[in-house]
Amino acid sequence: MKNIIKIGLVSACVGLSLISCQSDLTSLNDDPKHPSVLPSENLLGTALYQASYYMDNPNVNFNNYRFFTQQWAETQYPDETQYNLITRNQPRNHFNRMYVYSLNNLRQAKANLKNEVETDDIRANKLATLEIEEIFIWENLVDTYGDIPYSEAFLPDEIITPKYDDAKTIYLDLVKRINDVIATVKPSVKGYTGDLVYFGDMTKWVKFANSIKLRLGMNLADVDPALSKTIVESAIAGGVISSEAEAYKFKYDGNTFSNPVFDNLVASNRNDFIPSEIVVNTMKNLSDPRMDVWFTKVSGVYKGGVFGELNDPYTNFSQLGDYFRSPTTASNLLSYAEVAFLKAEAAARNYSVGGTAEQLYATAVTASMTENGVNATTAAAYLVANPYNAANWKQSIGVQAWIAMFNKGFASWNFTRRLDNPVLINPPKSNLSSVPYRMPYSDQEYVLNGANVNAAASKIGGDKATTKLFWDKF
């Protein structure tokens, strides 16, 4: 990562605010439309957009999370559902989007903020916003790749070939950083009023930070149960997302920014994706009312595509409905339903989280129904037909969370890897020996940072998509 790029998608609008009437002749050397130092808020906007858009992007050239959880199928080109992660360089593309286009802008924003005129409290909140967003992106990276460049990643003047840090060590540092940053927040004071997620509401940023901590803690449940319990209970005591109004959603205006699912289903003028028969048949068997919101019918019935196979012509299968086809739909990357399912799982593991597993399971399912426009009466009937099963809680919570996280690929992948439910079968034409448990490292790292990436690959048991992360024990 020697040649880190500094970019700003929204920098085009900066120039007007920087023009001033100076008589100093030296000002003639300045270009007011291309300031040499971007405001930290612009850099935050770029990072929020890049991280949200590309975490949520269903494009076959990027993260492929929706294929890792087998909820989407392909029509004419099934390479990605056959787990070909080489031809389109998905590992490289996601790695670069997160490091270069997202994290780097946050690091630069922190540096620029130091020279901006603010009160101490506002500056503290702005710095906290940048820090929490950075932690969020690190969490995505470590749970996508495993061991990654972390402690030496942004020291280009000192270290141009950063080492790969141990994933659990990164986890522990992220938890520490969350605790530290929350302590600096001034809840009664705004942060960045122009941030496109919480618009400067620091109470919501704190709840988001604790919800990231909850995610991290739950992922540790099988590898370090005692530590997991401590982290999870601390996160919940600190206050996690407790309504859909507090969910982490990047909001698109439909002009400058459009939702990535819209871009791939509508703006692309392509018909590449359909719901898989795995998700369609599972929901059929449960008489799930969300099908009416999410999918179209073919000859009066729902028909999903075969995962890992050609599904042509497109018109023979159910399609993703209008619910997914708006340019202004927000990318909901840490939803209330997800937090509720995490709490239900924590209760099932006998953590103290303010409710029983059965109660929190009902809360989580209802939250997903509400989020997707299903009325309370229908949601209650669904719960009666599909109650919590304490004797097989991993299946009970795992399947319902997988359904609820439909179109939330990264969140869904965390649940399926941790709970191993639903049981995902490797497709017959797969390029891998099993379903993917991680994303392989960027091929560019083998050119630019070869010694360190090879050492990391050896440490984790091989740079393969089938190598499990440190916390994925079963």
Asked if pLDDT for residue 17 goes beyond 50, the answer is no
Provide the 10 A C-beta neighbour count for residue 391. Answer: 6
Cα atoms in the 13 Å half-sphere on the side-chain side of 56: 28
**Mutual angle of helices 202-219 and 225-238, in 10-degree steps:** 170
CATH code at position 89: 1.25.40.390
Residue 20 is predicted with a pLDDT of: 29
| Per-residue tokens: 206 | 């704190």
Report d(CA 358, CA 242) in Å as an integer: 17
Asked whether residue 119 is domain-assigned, the answer is: yes
Residue 14 is predicted with a pLDDT of: 27
Report d(CA 467, CA 474) in Å as an integer: 12
Residue 15 is predicted with a pLDDT of: 27
Q: What is the DSSP string of 327-363?
A: TT--EEEE-HHHHHHHHHHHHHTT--SSS-HHHHHHH
Mean pLDDT of the chain: 93
Report d(CA 342, CA 336) in Å as an integer: 10
Nearest CA-CA partner of 208 in 126, 103, 132: 132
Asked whether residue 28 is domain-assigned, the answer is: no
Asked if pLDDT for residue 389 goes beyond 70, the answer is yes
Reduced to 3 states (helix: H, G, I; strand: E, B; else coil), residue 298 is strand
Contact 334, 411 (CB under 8 A): yes
Asked whether residue 208 is domain-assigned, the answer is: yes
Residue 157 is predicted with a pLDDT of: 87
Asked whether residue 301 is domain-assigned, the answer is: no
Residue 35 is predicted with a pLDDT of: 60
Handedness of CA 250, 253, 258, 261 (dihedral sign): positive
Asked whether residue 55 is domain-assigned, the answer is: yes
- Over residues 405-428, the mean pLDDT reads 98
Residues 6+ apart with CB under 8 A from 242: 207, 336, 339
Residue 133 is predicted with a pLDDT of: 98
**Mutual angle of helices 409-419 and 393-404, in 10-degree steps:** 170
Burial label for 135, CB within 10 Å (0-12, 13-18, 19+), is: buried
Report d(CA 251, CA 244) in Å as an integer: 14
**pLDDT tier for residue 156 given thresholds of 50, 70 and 90:** confident
Domain that holds residue 44: 40-258+329-460
Report d(CA 302, CA 250) in Å as an integer: 31
Q: pLDDT above 70 covers what percent of the chain? A: 92
Handedness of CA 140, 141, 147, 149 (dihedral sign): negative
Nearest CA-CA partner of 215 in 380, 443, 438, 415: 415
Asked whether residue 279 is domain-assigned, the answer is: no
Asked if pLDDT for residue 243 goes beyond 50, the answer is yes
Asked whether residue 117 is domain-assigned, the answer is: yes
**pLDDT tier for residue 34 given thresholds of 50, 70 and 90:** low
Nearest CA-CA partner of 341 in 381, 308, 303, 369: 369
Asked whether residue 27 is domain-assigned, the answer is: no
Report d(CA 33, CA 13) in Å as an integer: 8
Q: How many domains does the chain have?
A: 1
Compute, in degrees rounded to 10, the torsion defined by CA atoms 377, 379, 381, 385: 180
pLDDT digits over 77-94, tens only? 999 999 999 999 999 999
Reduced to 3 states (helix: H, G, I; strand: E, B; else coil), residue 301 is strand
Asked if pLDDT for residue 26 goes beyond 50, the answer is no
Report d(CA 165, CA 142) in Å as an integer: 10
| Per-residue tokens: 167 | 């994933």
- Over residues 290-310, the mean pLDDT reads 98
Asked if pLDDT for residue 55 goes beyond 80, the answer is yes
Asked if pLDDT for residue 18 goes beyond 50, the answer is no
**pLDDT tier for residue 62 given thresholds of 50, 70 and 90:** very high
Report d(CA 428, CA 102) in Å as an integer: 36
